[in-house]
Amino acid sequence: MAFQDRELTCRDCGGSFVFTAGEQEFYASKGLQHDPVRCPSCRATRKMMRPEDRDESPNYGVFASWGGRTPRQLHVASCAQCAQLTEVPFVPRGDRPVYCSACYNEVRAKQEAADQAAAVHAAARIASSSVSVALEGPGPEAEPDAAGGAGRLPE
C-alpha cells in the first residue's frame, strides 16, 4: 500500500502538521489504526509532563490512586462500633455503617465465621436428608426368560 503525506490538525494547539508517508508506514507496521491527533511538539510536551520514573509519584498509602497521578480524597467518619473518628476513601452515605480498620476486621472475621458455619449447617442438612424418588407410570415390561422368570428389558 502506497502512503502519501497528509495534513492533519492538532487537537491541543489547533495548528496543522504533516503526517508523513514514513510515519504512516511506521504506524501501520505497529498495528496502529488511528492517525495521530497531536502535532510533534504537543506530543513531546505531553510526554515530558508524564513522570518518567514511577518511583517519583506516590503509589501507596493515602495518595494511592490509578497510576499514582492524583491524590485519593479521604472523608472523616465516626466508626459505628467504637465511635472513634476514622478516615475512609468514600463518602459515607448514612444508610450503611462505617467502621475503623480494627472494627472492620473484627466485623469481617465474625461475618466470615457465620458464613462458614451456615455453609457447614447447609451441607449437613443436605447430607442427612433422605430423598425418595417415585416413578410415574407402569414402566417398561420385561421379557420373560426361558425359565419363566424376569428377563431382560427390550432394547
Express each pLDDT in 24-59 by its tens digit: 999 889 888 899 999 999 999 988 887 655 555 554
For residue 86, what is its C-alpha cell? 476514622
Q: Would you state the pLDDT for residue 75?
A: 86
- Between 27 and 135, the more confident residue is 27
Q: Indicate if the pLDDT at residue 84 is higher than 70.
A: yes
| Rounded Cα–Cα distance for residues 42 and 111 (Å) | 54
HEC assignment per residue over 12-28: CCCCEEEECHHHHHHHH
* Residue 155: pLDDT over 80: no
pLDDT one-digit tens code per residue, 2-13: 889 999 999 999
Q: Map residue 76 onto helix, strand or coil.
A: strand
